[in-house]
Amino acid sequence: MWNPDAGKHGSVDLSTASASSSSGVLATVRAKRLAREQERRQELAALAIQRVWRGRSSARQTRAQLLAHLQDKPIGIEDTGKVLVLLSGDGDRDGFGAIATKWATSALDKDRRPAFVAQLGDDEFAYRFALLLRRLLGFIAKQPRTVLSAQLLGKLVDLIAPPVYAGLEAERRQAFVATLGGDWVKTGVGALREFIAAGQRLPKKKHPLSTPIVSVIMAPIAIAPPAQDSPLVASLLQDLMTLPSLPFSLPLPALTTLSRSLPLFQVLLPAAAADPALLDAGGLSTELAKTHFLSNLATFGITGGMLQRQGAQGMRDWIAVVGTMFSTLGEGWGRWVATSGSEVEPMVVDDSDSDDEDENGKRVARKPVREPLPSNVAARLYSFASPAHLGTLVAAAMQGDSKTLVDFSFFVLGLLNAFRGSARWEATLDAVMEGKRGARMTKLLWREGVRGKWGSGRKDWETFSSNPNRAMLMLLSHIYCHYLLLTPDDEFFSNDTNALTLDEVLDLSTIWRDLAYWGFMEGVSSGESPSRGPGTEEVRSLFTRGVTRVAERKKFAPHNFWVMRELNSDINSFVNAVRYEEASLQGASAPRALRQRELAYIAPRLGLLNNLPMAVPFETRVDVFRQFVRADQMRTRGDNPFHSSRVQAQIRRTSVAHDGFRQLNRPGALRGMVQIQFVNEHGLPEAGIDGGGLFKEFLTCLVKEAFDVERGLWLANDENELYPNPHGYATEPHQLEWYTFWLGRQSYLDDLSSLDAELYRGLISVKNYPKPEELSLSFTVTEDDFGVARSVDLVPGGSEIPVTAENRAEYIQLMCQYKLGRQFAAQSRAFFSGLAEMIDPRWLRMFDQAELAQLLGGEHADIDLADLKRHTHFSGFAPDSSTPTAFWRVLESLSQEQRGKLVKFVTSCSRPPLLGFKYLNPEFAVRNAGSDTQRLPTASSCANLLKLPDYKDERLLREKLLQAIESGAGFDMS
């Protein structure tokens, strides 16, 4: 219907508002509200600033008026409050100082005796007076090296002198010291730091004002000895005790005052022992501050003799505090201390999040530098590891309770952690193990912290960091591993010299083995939560080292003692997991040589095999090794080895080593298929195609010729065992190539007795000699190169370092390292260069020396005919043929030497296969070679096949078989 008034009204939009328009309105409202809130905050801030400015201005004006007033009148003790106001802020320093000097003068009579003693009984006056002294010290500390500060410091010494307050009740003295405030020491130390720095430029290196400021700093402690919870304690620990070379920077009177007043064993160490957080806060939060703290502590406690005068509680507090402090020091701290004072570059700290730019503009980590320490600081730090100091603590620990023994264990572990990488590491263990006292300590650690307190399950490792006995176990492990390092077998197996019985050694080794095993299988702690969770990488490495050193001894453990029982239940799963881990590593996009520690993280079972192989049955390790070799052959040769590329080599039987070296000494030559053709002494090629047997024969001949001592590469000891020739001729580049061609394995410390029996006996004498200084030895070794004697330093400057009781263990280790390592270094590098070309060294680390020899050379055992018979296959003989039966009767009549020749004739190796003939591949086989009984038996060693004519007569079979195996001929036999 038409509406005549429709044009008089606006149109009405009945559609709903859009979401975008409503959100925009809300955003606008919110922004306006925030703007208004910001404006209100700005207004309030401006009012606060104005209020503070007006207050400060008013206070400044008041102080200026007060200063003008006091300058025109005499000042007495009754003006204490006014002077207090004057010194409560900034202003005319000279004017304020003059008023303060006048006030201090009025507080003392003409003989500099206090004139205010009677008024100290008034609590209000005593409070104002203490506040004024506090302000006076702060005034001095702002500019300590001015004449005005020196004058005021002299007055302050008299005003704060402890005898002045001796007549007050104990409660009043404590209230007075509390008013002085917890910052009293910190403020005074700031001034003392200035005086010490200024004193370095003086002829005597000591500032005269250090004496009065020390008296002022220590006065509150003498007035009212602080309790452990006093604010003064933290400042004494964190500010005063961290001053660099504090005792060496003070004049003798100041040092005397400090030594007499410092409540080191009465208050400071007990407080720090009860609250270790004090040792990692404030001025003690940096490594450098902790280092100076320890140096000062050693000066007062060890050099100054304070520790010797303490009782059992003082010893316990010292052990707890020093142990805690050492445990917090960074990696390489001991090497830093050792290099301080010498002409070396500043040490770089490894842990840093800072960065820098390299030459390409990329961000790279920038490591902070440790500047060298003063020589006197380093010397004091060394005293913590001195035999005398450690002997005192060992005696205290053995006489104390179980908690003392635990704290002592942490103390030594902290010391070892700090001095890791320096000679003091060994010296620390030597001091703890010294003589009969060390044997008693070893027994005590075994009884109290180890025996019956550790299980064999996974839980012991998972909760290792929270186990209360962990420190004692770790200390015992360090001690006994060090003992094993330098102890010959005759001493180890003697009850008179070994602190533990052999049964106890096996029990301890079982704990090591179980914890190390679970450490590899379950992983290690990151170290972020040291009080809970599993052990760390360092702990696992320690236990692994212990197992290895015991296992390397002359065998005394039962068969398969080291094997973990958990593996026997599911060995196939373990092997499959190992194969998977190895395949994963080989399939990495960028394979690289992995350290044993890295391997343990990436592939735990491979890590176990490389670090703790004895925990896995030998047969299992052999199986794993063979699977690794087969997989490697598949990668390098392909699926069909007979169609892969082959390396051809013609080898003259008269020059096997020379021809083999010349033709096969190139990268990768021995990793592929090698086909050997022998040339006889007449220059004619021998018959036969190499299917593997000729190559095995080549290797056998090569070993004989290349290891001939006449070549000059090897020397023989009294037992006709070979070792690399250390003379210069053998280290020339063209000779080192021979070592590269051969595969080698590094010698062990146990080999020293066979390498040089005379030197071995001499080192044992040095080890047991009461006073090695009388032997006039130094850290050198004499070498003889073709009649020319030369002296070699075992360490830089070794000719100037005498062998003493403290460093003889280091001398013995260095001598052994030189004889077994350094003098063969070039040859060893060449050995392992060749080894790495042939086979992954990780695979060989699965075996010890004896096992490796067994792996490479076969079983050192007689030929087991029963085993051979079970795994021999006959073909081509009639069911009723008597030849197989006659063959076995003939073998039974042969000697072991003849049986070995038969096995060599068929397989090219005289020893039985490792783990028996079951593992010979291809299987040992005997095939009918026809009815011509005039022919000799022949063999295809590449197929482990004996071709035996069908002899009907047992006597003839024996005759022909012996003729064949004794001839030593090759394929020409056929």
The set of catalytic residues is: 942
Q: What are phi and psi of 859, to 5 degrees?
A: -70, 135
Q: Is residue 264 within 8 Å of 301, Cβ to Cβ? A: yes
Q: What are phi and psi of 946, to 5 degrees?
A: -100, 120
Quickly list DSSP for 5-20.
TGGGS-----SPPPHH
Query: Residue 887 and residue 298: Cα distance in Å, rounded?
Result: 83
Query: Residue 927 and residue 946: Cα distance in Å, rounded?
Result: 6
Helices assigned H by DSSP within 533-689? 537-551, 565-568, 571-586, 596-602, 604-611, 618-637, 656-664
The CB density around residue 627, as the number of other CB atoms within 10 Å, is 15
Of residues 426, 414, 433, 413, the one with CA closest to residue 338: 426
Q: What are phi and psi of 674, to 5 degrees?
A: -110, 130
The CB density around residue 860, as the number of other CB atoms within 10 Å, is 10
Q: Sign of torsion, CA 283 289 292 298? A: positive
Query: Dihedral through CA 192, CA 198, CA 202, CA 205, nearest 10?
Result: 50
Q: Is residue 911 within 8 Å of 961, Cβ to Cβ? A: no
Amino acid at 773: E
Proportion of the chain in helix, strand, coil states, percent, rounded to 5: 60, 5, 30
584-593: buried (b, 16+ CB within 10 Å) or exposed (e) per residue? ebeeeeeeee
Collapsed DSSP state (helix, strand, coil) of residue 690 = coil
Query: Residue 574 and residue 609: Cα distance in Å, rounded?
Result: 11
Of residues 521, 525, 549, 522, the one with CA closest to residue 537: 525
Collapsed DSSP state (helix, strand, coil) of residue 674 = strand
Q: Is residue 902 within 8 Å of 938, Cβ to Cβ? A: no
Question: Which residues fall within 8 angstroms of residue 114, CB to CB, at 6 or more apart?
Answer: 107, 108, 158, 159, 161, 164
Question: Which residues fall within 8 angstroms of residue 369, CB to CB, at 6 or more apart?
Answer: 346, 347, 348, 349
Query: For 456, which DSSP code?
Result: S
Question: Which residues fall within 8 angstroms of residue 418, CB to CB, at 6 or more apart?
Answer: 326, 327, 329, 333, 334
Query: Dihedral through CA 878, CA 879, CA 885, CA 888, nearest 10?
Result: 80
Largest CA distance in the chain: 144
Query: For 778, which DSSP code?
Result: B
Could you give the C-alpha distances from 52 to 45, 56, 303, 506, 694, in angstroms and in order?
A: 11, 6, 54, 77, 101
Side-chain half-sphere exposure of 912, counting CA atoms within 13 A: 21
H or E segment at 36? Answer: helix 19-71
DSSP strand pairing (673-679 vs 646-652): parallel
Collapsed DSSP state (helix, strand, coil) of residue 439 = helix
Place of tokens 């409202």: 29
Q: Is residue 133 within 8 Å of 156, Cβ to Cβ? A: yes
